[in-house]
A = this chain, B = another copy of it.
Amino acid sequence: MKEKISRATLDRIPLYYRTLKILNDGDEEIISSSKLSKILDITPEQIRKDFLDLGQFGIKGVGYRVDKLKRGIENLLGLQYRWHLAIIGVGHLGTALANYKNFPILGFQVSALFDVDEELIGQKINGVKVYDFAKLDAVARRKIIDIGVITVPDTQAQKVADDLISVGVKGIWNFAPTKISVPPGISIVNEDLSVGLTKLSYHLAKL
């Protein structure tokens, strides 16, 4: 397997993984790149190149072993670890994420929700409890938090990130439309919803 895969490949891997999981659950043992191509709308050449990067060669004229491919992706992405998420900010976006059904499919688990609103604290969303963010330190001693999902207003985002990092959280997934600084050794992914929209605009302007 390649030591470092490209960003574009990394974007496609969740699509492959989701499909392989469904095939595997459905007892399909072999999949060809041309069949995957039809399901995913990615060229067979691209699929073969990506799988080669993942260290999977397939069998000429037959296809790929679904279970091997699936396990290869799991190892690459660290999905065998079952990462635990905490969502901070239980507004509409936080609630939508708490209910997002693809997280469990991918092996991620929402283990805690946090807010500062008295009305929300103590409630459960999709079976997960909302804790007082002021008690983050105490909660983090009892529950695993690998990734902190930030869905608070801009002005609070940096402070929330700092607090998460101070209790040992190593990954930050930021939905607040603002830049967050993190020290070395902490992973951050900024989810910017305007990126998708800008792509659409670019294509529409060419029509």
User: Which residues of A are interface residues toward B (Cβ below 8 A)?
Assistant: 7-8, 10-11, 13-15, 17-18, 39-41, 76-79, 81, 83, 85, 91-93, 95-97, 99-103, 106, 108, 146-147, 170-171, 173, 177, 179, 185, 187, 189, 191-207
The 3 A-B pairs at the shortest CB distance, nearest first, are namely A78-B205, A92-B96, A93-B96
- CB distance B179 to A189 under 8 Å? no
Please give, as numbers and ranges, the residues of chain B lying within 8 Å of A187 by CB-CB distance: 200, 203-204, 207
**Max chain B CB contacts within 10 Å: which of A17, A100, A196?**
A196
- CB distance A173 to B147 under 8 Å? no
Copies of this protein in the assembly total: 2
- CB distance B7 to A204 under 8 Å? no
Secondary structure of the A contact surface, majority rule? helix
- CB distance A83 to B198 under 8 Å? no
Q: Among the listed B95, B96, B177, B200, which residue makes an inter-chain contact with A102, where contact means beta carbons less than 8 Å apart?
A: B177
Report the separation of the CA atoms of residues A77 and B39 in the bound assembly, to the nearest whole angstrom.
30
Report the separation of the CA atoms of residues A177 and B102 in the bound assembly, to the nearest whole angstrom.
7
- CB distance B196 to A191 under 8 Å? yes
Q: From A198, which residue of chain B is reached at the shortest CB distance?
A: B14
Q: From A83, which residue of chain B is reached at the shortest CB distance?
A: B201
- CB distance A200 to B185 under 8 Å? no
Please give, as numbers and ranges, the residues of chain B lying within 8 Å of A18 by CB-CB distance: 177, 194
Report the separation of the CA atoms of residues A202 and B147 in the bound assembly, to the nearest whole angstrom.
12
Report the separation of the CA atoms of residues A206 and B10 in the bound assembly, to the nearest whole angstrom.
14
Q: From A7, which residue of chain B is reached at the shortest CB distance?
A: B8
